[in-house]
Structure 1
């Protein structure tokens, strides 16, 4: 089979063709708190390349975005709607499989008061406000707004077969070009999977064929599908999407990139009521840990039953259990859970660290899990009414803590603070080691619950809110906010089934392992560890002290305005057959240069007032030396030096109307805004370095590692495949401070390199120590403020002339495939020698900070590293 569309785009990536700047009319019109994630940027780059440059693009694209559950498909939809509006599309048909999702979707798209609203309060495109409306039909809609018709697949199918007045009809799609957006699009493949008889094919107008019919009504219609679960193992479906998958971002990649919770399977040989109580305690533990760190988090539990009757019975049992909860019952649960590390840690935190008596804890649980904070969603009608409430479970005023359900929440449920799923039945449908349909649905539900709960970690202010932060410090209390617990009965066969299902969906990686990385006792007792410091810098807001005009942001002084009308008019008979005539202007269009300042202060001020970016308080943030708005308008270093080229008829150019001058001024300001934002750097790293106690930064670590190549393989246990390591007893080397190494091949090659040079270093220095930097310290690039955590720190100490000298080297082993994209890190390391400022003499000691080029155990990088290492560590340097 020929290359897929996704393969072709992957090839374009290698050629560097897909690097696109996401337009400001997209990023600037999304809700202010939405920062596009790297993979969303990649998806949009692929879209822009496809729509603008792809040589085989049809006029009416049909594309699939195959994206993991929780990866922000609706954000991407909103971005595409903005881009397509700019490209001339006004009508959008949004359809899903389930009615319960519709109200939730409308909230996200239309309600600015919603916590999950996707658009800015005021959408502006080409300096004009654009309204977003829900419509019932595309007939006679306003063509200056974004018109969205929301429906289900079933409802759309019914309306096409039995049209009604004032509702969307097939003619709407024939007369107006429409963008069709299908969420959970795998439902469109119901008929693709099947082989229909000739009679069935003639008689049955399927949902899939209805969508296909609508799509082909207009040559410029588009069909954009979004799903996480298209069955590409099915030959027919794989063939259907061969040339349609624009972006493929799997759940496995989503998890590996750190955007999901980690899943922990908790087996308990206990009745359902006891499992519910355990989940309730763990849920409250999460809430209290969050509060202890100043975070708002109201954890939610999903109690999953097999039947609706069972769900009602389980809810009644839960309500009764909570109402009768006593301190004695909790004390008993604590005693019975002594072998349960997680539950014991929860009780220890609540009852010991927070000093809460059992009776007080029971009273708190009775209040927090009272009946009014429990909801049962098994009634479809009730579920539809509650959809908005269920979509806002993270809101501060939403008090729901427990949801009882059977299978009503398997799709379209966007929840970030679900941390516990309790399976209240003990059946399985797996056979012959194959995953059953029910078990796969359970795995998909777990994947939905594994959406990450975003928070800012107090100890990692620069870490992304939406990514896991404690894979390398699993003992940290906040790690509990990065885990989803799936509670089930002790049934080994079922556990194997659910593991298989989770592995298939990509949510479980059994190549991961938890390892203990401990500092050697000899190092903990050393003077370096107990008394010395590591020097690091900080990140601060860019003061922009050198910015004195537009040229600091590479803004050119000349702009070309593209849209002045020429005055050409074409006439033709409405009934055909008549001779077309052209009313020609008296002269041909010409280009003329205008000084923007010559349009007058009043017009430029009006244009600036209409754009928040050019309000003086905001301009000062980008141009600190600017004294006034008037200076920005008149000074040659700002707008006073701007020229704009306008093409038009000579008479028109001689007599530009005020409205035309304003349009031109707004266009130029928009171009300047885009340029400034593109070039602006918000943060920089300080040149001034400060000391931190080594003993406070470097501690024993619990790491969760995924085996990949050498990563995750123990040196001490002899698991590594790097040649020559088995000859080195790492545990006996006092200069290596940890008891093992689980790093990459290049990291292990570097340790071996240092071992090979240890005799020379011992002859020159009284002692030296190599520290592996596992989230212990971070540096910030001087120019951009980007965070960098070098893999190793090497401390070299010697005494000369009665003065103690300590040299601190930052070292980064790097695989060959990463050297180009991480070049900024190497440039930064090389800058340290001349740029890093510090108290040279601190506490009577002479300190130096240096960085080395990347270490790579192959030519030519190894020669460069050897030369620098030898030069830096020589006494007579």
Structure 2
């Protein structure tokens, strides 16, 4: 039988997703905001993609007729599907009137974890607030085995069961179990986690009568003749849409997709690197211990919270092998001496096969601290004592589902001292440990076929969950060091998979990683390339006496923040707002173009609404607020003070449809307007409280002191995905391009494209600025360990920037340096930026500063009253010059006419 042709995943269509996206872009379609009864009752703030998933689902239930009963959320491992489930439970309860929910999955371990997530309010992993309150009523989530016939008010009933249990109960008549009639009685929402396990009807054999999928479908269709039907919401990270049978089954059910590569590209995961080695299993064990301890030491150096504890997992093919490896590991730690450790490191460094960057960093650290090796060995013996090693295998080779379950699922806890886990099974669904940093493949009896490497790829994907460690008390749920040229990312934000160096196996593994859409690469020492300033440029006057200009920053004293206006907030006594649209006035304005409106005065509005709104927002607790308003003496001052909210004198005016009357306004609607207003103020207060600000005073720094030779590595990616193609960094020879001051350019595709675009205008620029036309690549690698790097940054200095106040300066990637025969200097900052939605939006403050410099040149001041200088900035350069950056370059350099004449010849 001929194999079915694989589908191209990029070309596949999912109608529900497309309809929801189209509606979102429709200016005349009302934008739905996540209701407060969801945001106020979840322990975590939903991320933007989770908001989108929830919004897409709500669209299918309110705007599509008939609304789909069965949908699929295809979201990456670690992307917070259970957080989304919690939000969906609240939405379906409050908005759609469902009170019965069935959570089902195929393993007991996930079931136990989900109890902590959705039922156990005493658990650290509980996803709701301690008290769920909706419309002034406290809501109870009650776990049940059977849904009650007589229901209590304000109660959500949640049954958690494996799909095996649900199936057995349906097909085997037993006392006190749920049969089909129970699902016919009242409407039920099925939350089917890891749903790829259920799809047997997509296989070649005929669907059996008593399969898991058949059981789920029977529950789903139990109320098809009723007005309120049962619903099925499936969740999975693993679904092979390239297979025609699976795509055909799910094409009209997929409501949201957030693939692994997108998740990783957006920074919500660790990076992933492979350490490919010919070392024995015993050598790999000692190497990973040294690396794990090095992570711990580096975390201390970087002021990471003291509870940082990197976990190692040793993955074996069989239980017997795992137990044997566990015994070898314990023996190795027990016998380790300082002399043996130094000898091992020196031997490893001599091995040509050991070409790993992160291990080299660890070796250098230990050799640099030889006098401390005795202490280091004692710490290794303490941290990796057998009592801190967990063998998570039961007799069947699966991960334990009881007994040590709590230990396995609290590895991030300061009270959990385990550092090592030995296991046979892959990281099973439901084991969401975040501080896993090293996975070691025990090679003894390990298979190398495609099935084995796919299991390993899934293991790596699950282990890549990001660990939100704290630095100086600040926690982040996204990678922090993507733009940091140091090795912090390699140590603190990278999962390493230690495997064997066997070409055929590695080819198979890389293929499996690509099939999973999981971006990764080999961790190799990758010898650095020396980037040199061209000798001919060093002989020029531009290099010898030229300068590059950046603006000075100054300290801002706390006494400066004495009013709400100092945070960029235009707070007026007359508050003008739009009803029910809060911070989305832009969308509302577009919508209201076709709706006649009027402005009404809200006579019932007074300070009580301000005080109530403040009570609903944690940010406005006095101790927290004082962190941003240091001179504030009391909450009364903030609420009633004339420099702050001035609540006793506020008047509220609302823009409403022309037929609307004040009598139609509810107290809840007025309160929501003020809550939304204070949320906007919160963002501006947080971003506006900065201790340093830029000035319009520009300082020149000698080019010869700041453009220097430097070394840089070219990263390797062998499983690149659609989202990081522009980050494909390569070395480009630039010796023959006189305008580029370095002999090589180590840049990504977008940056090289920009260089080529500028190159096209070099001759025209030379014709106008005959003395010098040079392009500088300002790579932070040049001065990453020097105070010089802080000087070569631009800082915001404009009043009330549209995209918020940002304390940190930034260094644009390129400077176009021009000089004419009258010694007139023209310096143009250029920043290439990949278009990627949310990331791009967050960077727009940089573009705003660049354009502000161009439009306000007359306001600049220069040291020594220099008058022969012009500083400008261009809009971000994007792929294919889609935003017309080069057109702007022509305009501000006045080469438009010459260029146009040449192009017409």
* TM-score between the two structures when normalised by the length of structure 2: 0.75
Please tell me whether the aligned partners of residues 144 and 158 of structure 2 are also in contact (alpha carbons under 8 angstroms).
yes
Distance 1:824 1:736 in 2: 29
What residue in structure 1 maps to residue 184 of structure 2?
174
SS in 1 for 2:815: strand
What residue in structure 2 maps to residue 574 of structure 1?
none
Distance 2:391 2:554 in 1: 50
Within the candidate set 417, 421, 426, 2:435 is matched to: 417
SS in 2 for 1:384: coil
Please tell me whether the aligned partners of residues 479 and 493 of structure 2 are also in contact (alpha carbons under 8 angstroms).
yes
What residue in structure 2 maps to residue 670 of structure 1?
672
Q: 1:269 aligned to 2:271?
A: no
Distance 2:98 2:452 in 1: 41
Q: 1:554 aligned to 2:559?
A: no
What residue in structure 1 maps to residue 302 of structure 2?
293
Distance 1:135 1:778 in 2: 60
**Residue 447 (structure 1) shift:** 1.1
Q: 1:156 aligned to 2:166?
A: yes
**Residue 89 (structure 1) shift:** 2.5
Q: 1:41 aligned to 2:44?
A: no
What residue in structure 1 maps to residue 588 of structure 2?
none
Give CA deviations for 1:317-366 in whole Å, capped at 9, x if unaligned.
111111111111111111111153432320212341x5553322211110
Q: 1:840 aligned to 2:830?
A: no
Q: 1:473 to 1:111 in 2, by over 3 A?
A: same
Distance 1:286 1:811 in 2: 37
What residue in structure 2 maps to residue 282 of structure 1?
291
Distance 2:266 2:613 in 1: 43
What residue in structure 2 maps to residue 208 of structure 1?
213
Please tell me whether the aligned partners of residues 160 and 170 of structure 1 are also in contact (alpha carbons under 8 angstroms).
yes
Within-5 A mapping of 1:573-722: 595-597=603-605, 627=637, 629=639, 635-638=648-651, 664-677=666-679, 681-682=683-684, 683-684=687-688, 686=693, 688=695, 700-704=711-715, 712=728, 714=730, 716-717=732-733
Q: 1:117 aligned to 2:126?
A: yes
Please tell me whether the aligned partners of residues 521 and 716 of structure 2 are also in contact (alpha carbons under 8 angstroms).
no
SS in 2 for 1:595: coil
Q: 1:793 aligned to 2:820?
A: no
**Residue 156 (structure 1) shift:** 1.9
Size of the alignment, in residue pairs? 796
Please tell me whether the aligned partners of residues 17 and 56 of structure 2 are also in contact (alpha carbons under 8 angstroms).
no
Please tell me whether the aligned partners of residues 271 and 520 of structure 2 are also in contact (alpha carbons under 8 angstroms).
no
**Residue 840 (structure 1) shift:** 2.3
What residue in structure 2 maps to residue 24 of structure 1?
36
Please tell me whether the aligned partners of residues 857 and 870 of structure 2 are also in contact (alpha carbons under 8 angstroms).
no
**Residue 206 (structure 1) shift:** 2.1
What residue in structure 1 maps to residue 757 of structure 2?
750
Distance 1:794 1:696 in 2: 15
Give CA deviations for 1:572-599 in whole Å, capped at 9, x if unaligned.
xxxxxxxxxxxxxxxxxxxx9983258x
Please tell me whether the aligned partners of residues 305 and 423 of structure 1 are also in contact (alpha carbons under 8 angstroms).
yes
Within the candidate set 857, 867, 873, 2:891 is matched to: 867
Q: 1:78 to 1:529 in 2, by over 3 A?
A: farther
Which consecutive residues of structure 1, in runs of 5 or more, have no partner in the other structure?
Answer: 560-591, 654-660, 718-727
Within the candidate set 154, 177, 183, 1:144 is matched to: 154
SS in 1 for 2:222: coil
Q: 1:184 aligned to 2:205?
A: no
Q: 1:150 to 1:238 in 2, by over 3 A?
A: same
SS in 2 for 1:223: strand
Please tell me whether the aligned partners of residues 41 and 133 of structure 2 are also in contact (alpha carbons under 8 angstroms).
yes
What residue in structure 2 maps to residue 443 of structure 1?
457
Within the candidate set 84, 107, 112, 1:103 is matched to: 112
What residue in structure 2 maps to residue 398 of structure 1?
416
Which stretch shows the higher mean deviation, 44-53 or 211-220?
Answer: 44-53
Q: 1:705 to 1:506 in 2, by over 3 A?
A: same
Distance 1:702 1:18 in 2: 49
Please tell me whether the aligned partners of residues 550 and 794 of structure 2 are also in contact (alpha carbons under 8 angstroms).
no
**Residue 452 (structure 1) shift:** 2.4
Please tell me whether the aligned partners of residues 278 and 343 of structure 1 are also in contact (alpha carbons under 8 angstroms).
yes
Q: 1:2 to 1:305 in 2, by over 3 A?
A: closer
Q: 1:551 to 1:831 in 2, by over 3 A?
A: farther
What residue in structure 2 maps to residue 586 of structure 1?
none
Please tell me whether the aligned partners of residues 102 and 158 of structure 2 are also in contact (alpha carbons under 8 angstroms).
yes
**Residue 858 (structure 1) shift:** 7.8
Within the candidate set 816, 830, 838, 2:851 is matched to: 830
Please tell me whether the aligned partners of residues 313 and 439 of structure 2 are also in contact (alpha carbons under 8 angstroms).
yes
Q: 1:796 to 1:503 in 2, by over 3 A?
A: same
Within-5 A mapping of 1:448-463: 448-455=462-469
Q: 1:313 aligned to 2:313?
A: no
What residue in structure 2 maps to residue 259 of structure 1?
268
Please tell me whether the aligned partners of residues 764 and 895 of structure 2 are also in contact (alpha carbons under 8 angstroms).
no
Q: 1:24 to 1:597 in 2, by over 3 A?
A: closer
What residue in structure 2 maps to residue 50 of structure 1?
60
SS in 1 for 2:770: helix
Distance 2:113 2:777 in 1: 51
Distance 2:401 2:31 in 1: 43
Which stretch shows the higher mean deviation, 603-612 or 742-751?
Answer: 603-612
Please tell me whether the aligned partners of residues 552 and 694 of structure 2 are also in contact (alpha carbons under 8 angstroms).
no
Give CA deviations for 1:741-794 in whole Å, capped at 9, x if unaligned.
4442641333314533452465356x8552345697576692223777644233
**Residue 35 (structure 1) shift:** 4.3
Distance 1:845 1:113 in 2: 66
Please tell me whether the aligned partners of residues 42 and 128 of structure 2 are also in contact (alpha carbons under 8 angstroms).
yes
Which stretch shows the higher mean deviation, 180-189 or 529-538?
Answer: 529-538
Distance 1:852 1:295 in 2: 38
Q: 1:348 to 1:517 in 2, by over 3 A?
A: closer
Within the candidate set 812, 829, 835, 1:810 is matched to: 829
Within the candidate set 453, 456, 476, 2:487 is matched to: 476
Please tell me whether the aligned partners of residues 577 and 673 of structure 2 are also in contact (alpha carbons under 8 angstroms).
no
Distance 1:18 1:329 in 2: 69
Which stretch shows the higher mean deviation, 145-154 or 63-72?
Answer: 145-154
SS in 2 for 1:349: helix
Distance 1:317 1:303 in 2: 12
Give CA deviations for 1:232-272 in whole Å, capped at 9, x if unaligned.
34433322212101112222332333333333322333332
What residue in structure 2 maps to residue 720 of structure 1?
none
Please tell me whether the aligned partners of residues 573 and 649 of structure 2 are also in contact (alpha carbons under 8 angstroms).
no
Q: 1:545 to 1:170 in 2, by over 3 A?
A: same
SS in 2 for 1:63: strand
Which consecutive residues of structure 2, in runs of 5 or more, have no partner in the other structure?
Answer: 1-11, 583-599, 782-788, 899-905
SS in 2 for 1:554: strand
Please tell me whether the aligned partners of residues 750 and 813 of structure 1 are also in contact (alpha carbons under 8 angstroms).
no
Within the candidate set 374, 384, 397, 1:359 is matched to: 374
Within-5 A mapping of 1:772-791: 772=778, 777=793, 782-785=801-804, 790-791=812-813
Within-5 A mapping of 1:315-354: 315-338=326-349, 339=352, 340=354, 341=356, 342-352=358-368, 354=369
Distance 1:783 1:535 in 2: 20
What residue in structure 2 maps to residue 490 of structure 1?
501
Distance 1:557 1:241 in 2: 36
Please tell me whether the aligned partners of residues 535 and 849 of structure 1 are also in contact (alpha carbons under 8 angstroms).
no
What residue in structure 2 maps to residue 79 of structure 1?
87
Q: 1:667 to 1:414 in 2, by over 3 A?
A: same
Q: 1:156 to 1:65 in 2, by over 3 A?
A: same
SS in 1 for 2:72: strand
**Residue 291 (structure 1) shift:** 1.0
Give CA deviations for 1:819-849 in whole Å, capped at 9, x if unaligned.
9978776554322245699982347766764
Please tell me whether the aligned partners of residues 737 and 770 of structure 1 are also in contact (alpha carbons under 8 angstroms).
no
Q: 1:815 to 1:757 in 2, by over 3 A?
A: farther
Give CA deviations for 1:352-392 in whole Å, capped at 9, x if unaligned.
1x555332221111001011110011126953233333222
What residue in structure 2 maps to residue 851 of structure 1?
873
